[in-house]
Copies of this chain bind each other. A is one copy, B any other.
Amino acid sequence: MAKKSFPLSRVYGLLEPGPVVLITTGYRGRTDIMAQSWHTMLEFEPPLVGCVISNRNYSFGLLKAGRECVINIPTAKLAKQVVACGNTTGARVDKFVAFGLTSAPARHVCAPLIAECYANLECRVVDTRGVAKYGFFVLEVVQAWVDSAVKNPQTLHHLGKGQFMVAGRRIRLPSRMK
């Protein structure tokens, strides 16, 4: 994989703009991929991410049991696969095989990376107190990988009912915000 380790202190810049992500889980030989937009940064460093994964999703059981996952960030090139992942359940389909995605081993967690995604964040579950009520898992990013050849990633942003907005032009303003 042509990806480089990415500083954990800069992970927030990958997730703050709100991209659709593909969350991979793996536990005892079973894996799943889930399309997801309900996530937020909770802390800069170590990076903490809050993710909603409903108990209606096959991934829920794998994440609860394995307590590890990978947040994979796709670009618009993968739009069809993202929708396909969202329209199927891992209970019946091996999504890697069905949608031609390449599983790659993570360094620190059991869940697989999706090689085609430009960034991959290896995560461990650190707080499950919001799970019963909201399906809200707090994840700590323990390793980040980014394909440094991708300069302005054309991330996908879900608008509902099959509509997506693709990342557009970039602007820079004088800011003291992190």
Which of A36-44, A60-68, A108-116 is the contact stretch? A36-44
Number of identical monomers bound together in the oligomeric complex: 2
Closest-CB distance, A87 to chain B (whole angstroms): 5
Give the complex CA separation of A175 and B159 in angstroms: 12
Determine whether the beta carbon of A171 is less than 8 Å from that of B79.
Answer: yes
Partner of A161, one of B39, B133, B165, B175: B175
> Which of the listed residues A40, A130, A177 has the most CB atoms from chain B within 10 Å of its own CB?
A40
| Residue tally, chain A, CB below 8 Å to B | 55
Chain A 77-88 near chain B by CB (<8 Å), digits 1 or 0: 001100100110
Asked if A29 lies at the interface with its beta carbon under 8 angstroms from chain B, I say no
